[in-house]
Amino acid sequence: MSTKLRVGIVGVGGNGGRFLDAYATNPRAEVVALCDIREDHRQALQDKYQVPYGYDSIEALLRHDEVDLVSIHGPDGLHAPFTLAALDAAKHVFVEKPMATTVADCLQVVERADRAPTRMAVGHVLRTRPFFRMVKEMVDAGELGSLHAMRTHYLNDAMRRGPRFLDIANRSYSPPMLTMGVHPVDLMRWYGGDVTHVQAMGNQGLALPGNPIDDSVTAVYRFASGATGSITVCWASHYVFDSFYGLELHGSGASVVWDKIHGRELHKVTPLPQPPATGRDGYAAEVDSVVDSLLDDTPLFCDVREGARSAIACLTALEAAKTGEMLAVPNP
Ligand SMILES: NC(=O)c1ccc[n+]([C@@H]2O[C@H](COP(=O)([O-])OP(=O)(O)OC[C@H]3O[C@@H](n4cnc5c(N)ncnc54)[C@H](O)[C@@H]3O)[C@@H](O)[C@H]2O)c1
């Protein structure tokens, strides 16, 4: 590998475009190729960021010898086939969440990544956010004691904002419980460990007339530790999205509820400090972490197994909502 990580980005829409900016401003990375089926749009980004090569298929990009890392930001349903192709071409992979849209694909990707000579990261960006990292350090240091209950949500009003969002959702996303729910489910798993079982229910056609997507899904997880964790996901709420994801962690020693900690002293509520902005927040922090881990051979912030387990937890919840049964979660 050269001293800089040479990156090829696949899918340079809204999310991929923001990643392009994050890679282009990382001093240890060099974006050498873009791939998108929208040729004019891709060419405009190549011109703006002075990226030498452009392709309209991942197969063509993978023939490019000078790409070390393939960064995948195409539609959810293409994550697994693109990842498998990149691993087979012996490239490192960064793939956006959700890692895949079926349990079988998640398992296949894990199996292929285990055999690959390269490494793979999954885009659970919240793990790189200073606030959630601070909470992780508190959990790991035992400040909350043993966790017994977690509660979270991912609610927003995206489906009420007119047809443009529905368009993007149809083109590039999967069901809300997967494409959105995987963020807070991953947070609960990061703090509370693996899940073993899930029960879930959902509905459609109540929140927004004609909404072609689940109004809401609520799932309850059993964790291997014995803890429970619940999540409600809705894209058609009136709720204005808040970046704390409604996070609640209840432990034997203290509770974190959103941005406050309860119980350091009995009946005492203390605001948690907000870590200062670094100037490399959001996707830039995620990109910096992946680039450093690959160049320095240090652990990735979210590896293939972690990404797979979070996606499978969501996919099993969707299946449980369909069957009405409590289901075991098949962790790879
Ligand atoms: N981590 C996060 O918080 C976060 C936020 C938004 C989106 N995402 C994920 O990013 C991905 C993209 O979402 P988006 O909002 O950018 O959607 P988008 O529709 O804006 O972008 C998708 C891009 O992929 C391109 N594309 C489609 N098929 C392709 C193919 N066969 N080969 C190459 N390019 C192809 C499209 O032309 C488009 O430019 C999704 O998987 C989504 O779940 C993650």
Kindly list the domain boundaries of the chain, sorted by start residue. 5-125+281-301, 127-276+311-328
Average pLDDT, the chain: 95
Helix 39-49 and helix 14-24, axial crossing angle in degrees, nearest 10: 20
pLDDT band at residue 277 under the 50/70/90 scheme: confident
pLDDT at residue 236 is higher than 80: yes
Task: Tell me the mean pLDDT in the region 22-33.
Answer: 98
Q: What is the mean pLDDT of residues 167-193?
A: 96
Mean pLDDT of all residues in 122-150: 97
Rounded mean pLDDT, 123-152: 97
Q: Is 73 in the pocket of ligand 1 (CB under 6 A)?
A: yes
| Rounded average pLDDT over 261-278 | 89
Q: Which uninterrupted H or E stretch holds 51? A: none
* Domain covering 5-125+281-301, topology: Rossmann fold (3.40.50)
**What pLDDT is recorded for position 2?**
61
Model confidence pLDDT, tens digit, residues 65-96: 999 999 999 999 999 999 999 999 999 999 99
Cα 99 to ligand 1 centre (Å) = 13
Q: Could you tell me if 70 and 62 are in contact, meaning their C-beta atoms sit under 8 angstroms apart? A: yes
Rounded CA gap, 34 and 177, in Å?
30
173 touches ligand 1 (CB under 6 Å) = yes
Which residue(s) pair with 9 in the sheet?
34, 71
Sign of CA dihedral 176, 179, 180, 183: positive
Quick one: average pLDDT of 129-149?
A: 97
- The most confident of the ranges 1-5, 11-15, 202-206 is 11-15
Tell me what the mean pLDDT of segment 257-279 comes to: 90
Atom of ligand 1 nearest to the CA of 57: 32
Evaluate if residue 1 carries a pLDDT over 70: no
- Proportion of the chain above pLDDT 90, given as a percent: 86
Residue range 127-276+311-328 forms a domain whose CATH class is alpha beta
- Residue 13 C-alpha to ligand 1 middle, in angstroms? 5
pLDDT class of 245 with cuts at 50, 70, 90: confident
Model pTM? 0.97
Ligand 1 pocket check: which of 42, 73, 82 to mutate, most ligand atoms within 8 Å of Cβ? 73
CA 168 to ligand 1: nearest atom = 19
- Is 45 in contact with 38 (CB distance < 8 Å)? no
Per-residue pLDDT, 172: 94
- Ligand 1 atom, smallest distance to 173 CA: 43
Distance 14 CA to ligand 1 centre (A): 7
**Residue located nearest, by CA, to atom 8 of ligand 1:** 15
Q: Is 156 left (phi over 0), alpha (psi -120 to 50) or beta?
A: beta
The mean pLDDT of 153-178, rounded to a whole number, is 91
- 287 Cβ below 6 A of ligand 1: no
